[in-house]
Chains A and B, each alone.
Chain A
């Protein structure tokens, strides 16, 4: 990837947040370019989900700056993030279980009729179009999302993101709840989204989920950035070493959280 001459879609610099005395994210830098997939890896509690929730507006950062396409962005809540084209797909809390797929796709951004009422038929028609592209077998538009399988729910969540022309997509453990076939579907979808120039952050604690999908990886440990690497320059074992020990291989660029050589 020749990223150096382009403006990053997202650049987060010196991001910190603390809960009580615990520094969940400690002076972290990260960036993302158009058409690129960056995997953010780390143990449970490494701070990766927290970092990404700052980007999507769910948490308010204590310090640091976020730039979207080179301009400083003011993200204080989920609505702000969506304004900048940042869409997030959460692992578990992606959908409101008791309403149908169309209602979930448009939650918070409903299509209204001229007199200000919900235009359910228009929303269902649009939902059918998007879902038809994503998951042609999906037909259960009238049922609450709680009745759907894990993969179907995931496709609803993904459809929700691309429906609004997301430029930046954040996926938290996108394949954790899915079977092999559905995982493959998500993989294909990610390739398709890359072609459209969308930048994607994949969050995972399992490198096998994301190694083949990601162009670059960023590894976090104890709230700090261990280092960055191009996926093709490192092996899975080396990345595991980064996750578990914080040890940076020669091909990676070490961050402040990297283990200091004795």
Chain B
């Protein structure tokens, strides 16, 4: 029964469609995703050629810059995946930047001033205890926010606006405004840098595993559709997606492997290991924070598309009352969403403080605005119910591209803010126009 009816439906629709929309329907590629990739491409090419023409040196599309861009995106990207859930359920979290400050300080104090007293300086367990403490603290703060919002019925805007001030103040109070530095050497690897990357072989392993994963996902999706006699995508569409996906993965591996360790690091490494490293080409490979971002992105996408939790998040966002009447415990869900946001914030706090090799009370200032902007540029609707994880990560990449691109061509921070602010408004406007035309 399904067989005949679906084909009838498919055939009827195809007749009045052009080649492009037929292609999009067959491959099931989201037009919004295409739009974002297009915008990213324009931004990248624009900065590169602006540099080429006006400065005489295009430095945007170089392995070095793109590698740095990937590291800079990690912290905001990780938090934006959580912000998507918060915004989908019609809430907001303004406190994430300040939470980074207080969690970063807690982890810094723990590994620099407290733990060494008990286990000794440089003990192997220090970074693990610091990270675990950070994760627990972030989750608890997030859960507390969620509890106030869900069970005490204080609007999320107010709770997290309060949090924005309270946690920033606590970050200052925790060490009277001192900067805590340097952090544990193993902990510092989590922030990237030449040592905090997985190298050439490691990157190839990551790339190959990712390619196998892409092919396996396409295959198992096809098998599931076959089992239930659904309409299958044309084989060429599946192959096209596999080729594009694996191609993108392999290009990124080649890119991160094309960025060598700088001379100074080579020399230092040579001295430390008593070998002559002059002229040796050592690849950076994927930076650890980027791999953390990828892992978080995959886990969050899985959570949102394959698990009950994600289904409920969307349902609550679409119609909170219907969700409650369907038996979903919406309050408990809200608490869990904010706790998850807190946990992701603490992962970002680990990366941010590790990258800086210190904890300061100003760490993460204004991050909440960048995170919200990333989620919104990535297609998350502030009216609730709509948003994707990959969109938010791409949104973070767009924002970070703008910021670092403007640094490269010598725009100062005042202009950067003007541009980022304008892009945010523009992105939402384009989205509104696109949606109203689609309906």
Contacting pair B325 A97 (CB below 8 A): no
Q: Cβ of B230 < 8 Å from any Cβ of A? A: yes
Beta-carbon nearest neighbor of B88 in chain A: A98
Contacts of B321 in A (CB 8 A): 93
Q: Cβ of B426 < 8 Å from any Cβ of A? A: no
B 1-54 contacts with A by CB, 8 A = 1-2, 5-6, 9
Contacts of A96 in B (CB 8 A): 314-316, 318-319, 322-323, 326, 385
Contacting pair A128 B319 (CB below 8 A): no
Beta-carbon nearest neighbor of B387 in chain A: A98
Q: Cβ of A3 < 8 Å from any Cβ of B? A: no
Contacting pair B311 A110 (CB below 8 A): yes
Task: State in angstroms the CA–CA spacing of A94 and B321 once bound together.
Answer: 9
Contacting pair A94 B322 (CB below 8 A): yes
**CB-CB contacts of A91-121 with B at 8 A, as 1s and 0s?**
0011111110001000111101000111001
B 294-330 contacts with A by CB, 8 A = 302, 305-308, 311, 314-319, 321-328
Task: State in angstroms the CA–CA spacing of A112 and B309 once bound together.
Answer: 12
Q: Cβ of B244 < 8 Å from any Cβ of A? A: no
Contacting pair A98 B317 (CB below 8 A): yes
- Assuming A96-B318, A97-B318, is B307 touching A90 (CB within 8 A)? no
Please pick, from B1, B224, B228, B322, the residue contacting A95 in the complex, using a CB distance under 8 A. Answer: B322
Contacting pair A103 B325 (CB below 8 A): no
Q: Cβ of B227 < 8 Å from any Cβ of A? A: yes
Contacts of B322 in A (CB 8 A): 90, 93-96, 107
Which one of A76-84, A207-215, A229-237 contacts B? A76-84
Contacting pair A107 B328 (CB below 8 A): yes
Contacts of A109 in B (CB 8 A): 327
- Assuming A78-B325, A118-B311, is B319 touching A95 (CB within 8 A)? yes
Q: Cβ of B126 < 8 Å from any Cβ of A? A: no
Task: State in angstroms the CA–CA spacing of A55 and B321 once bound together.
Answer: 17
Task: State in angstroms the CA–CA spacing of A19 and B324 once bound together.
Answer: 20
A 49-99 contacts with B by CB, 8 A = 56, 58, 77-79, 82, 88, 90, 93-99
Please pick, from A97, A110, A139, the residue contacting B308 in the complex, using a CB distance under 8 A. Answer: A110
Q: B16: shortest Cβ distance to chain A, in Å?
A: 17
Contacting pair A99 B327 (CB below 8 A): no
Please pick, from B1, B327, B385, the residue contacting A98 in the complex, using a CB distance under 8 A. Answer: B385
Contacts of A112 in B (CB 8 A): 308
- Assuming A110-B308, A117-B306, is B228 touching A93 (CB within 8 A)? no
Contacting pair B325 A58 (CB below 8 A): yes
Contacting pair A82 B327 (CB below 8 A): yes
Contacts of A122 in B (CB 8 A): 228
Contacting pair A121 B228 (CB below 8 A): yes
Q: Cβ of B225 < 8 Å from any Cβ of A? A: yes
Q: How many A-B residue pairs have CB under 8 A?
A: 89
- Assuming A117-B307, A118-B306, is B325 touching A90 (CB within 8 A)? yes
Task: State in angstroms the CA–CA spacing of A132 and B323 once bound together.
Answer: 25
Contacting pair A132 B385 (CB below 8 A): no
Q: A84: shortest Cβ distance to chain B, in Å?
A: 13
How many residues on B have C-beta within 8 angstroms of the other chain's C-beta atoms? 33
- Assuming A96-B319, A97-B318, A112-B308, is B326 touching A121 (CB within 8 A)? no
- Assuming A93-B319, A121-B228, is B307 touching A77 (CB within 8 A)? no
Contacts of B224 in A (CB 8 A): 121
Contacts of B317 in A (CB 8 A): 98
Q: A195: shortest Cβ distance to chain B, in Å?
A: 23
**CB-CB contacts of A144-183 with B at 8 A, as 1s and 0s?**
1010000000000000000000000000000000000000
Contacting pair B306 A99 (CB below 8 A): no
Q: B299: shortest Cβ distance to chain A, in Å?
A: 13
Task: State in angstroms the CA–CA spacing of A25 and B141 once bound together.
Answer: 42
Q: Cβ of B386 < 8 Å from any Cβ of A? A: yes
Task: State in angstroms the CA–CA spacing of A79 and B224 once bound together.
Answer: 31
Contacting pair B326 A99 (CB below 8 A): no
Task: State in angstroms the CA–CA spacing of A98 and B311 once bound together.
Answer: 10
Contacts of A99 in B (CB 8 A): 311, 314-315, 318
Q: Cβ of A259 < 8 Å from any Cβ of B? A: no
Q: A98: shortest Cβ distance to chain B, in Å?
A: 3
Task: State in angstroms the CA–CA spacing of A109 and B315 once bound together.
Answer: 13
Contacts of B325 in A (CB 8 A): 56, 58, 78, 88, 90, 93
Contacting pair A78 B386 (CB below 8 A): no
Q: Cβ of A245 < 8 Å from any Cβ of B? A: no
Contacting pair B307 A139 (CB below 8 A): no
Task: State in angstroms the CA–CA spacing of A132 and B6 once bound together.
Answer: 12
Task: State in angstroms the CA–CA spacing of A7 and B413 once bound together.
Answer: 77
Q: A118: shortest Cβ distance to chain B, in Å?
A: 5
Extra contacts besides A58-B325, A98-B385, A139-B5 (14): CB < 8 Å? A58-B324, A78-B325, A90-B325, A93-B325, A96-B314, A96-B316, A96-B385, A103-B311, A103-B314, A107-B322, A110-B311, A117-B302, A122-B228, A125-B229
The 30 sampled A-B contact pairs (Cβ below 8 Å) are A56-B325, A58-B325, A77-B327, A93-B322, A96-B319, A96-B323, A96-B326, A97-B385, A98-B315, A98-B317, A98-B386, A107-B315, A107-B322, A109-B327, A110-B308, A110-B311, A117-B307, A118-B305, A118-B307, A121-B225, A121-B228, A121-B230, A124-B230, A125-B228, A125-B229, A125-B230, A132-B2, A139-B6, A144-B318, A146-B318
CB-CB nearest 8 A-B residue pairs: A98-B318, A98-B385, A108-B326, A96-B315, A108-B327, A79-B327, A96-B318, A125-B228
**A residues engaging B (CB < 8 A)?**
56, 58, 77-79, 82, 88, 90, 93-99, 103, 107-110, 112, 116-118, 121-122, 124-125, 128, 132, 139, 144, 146
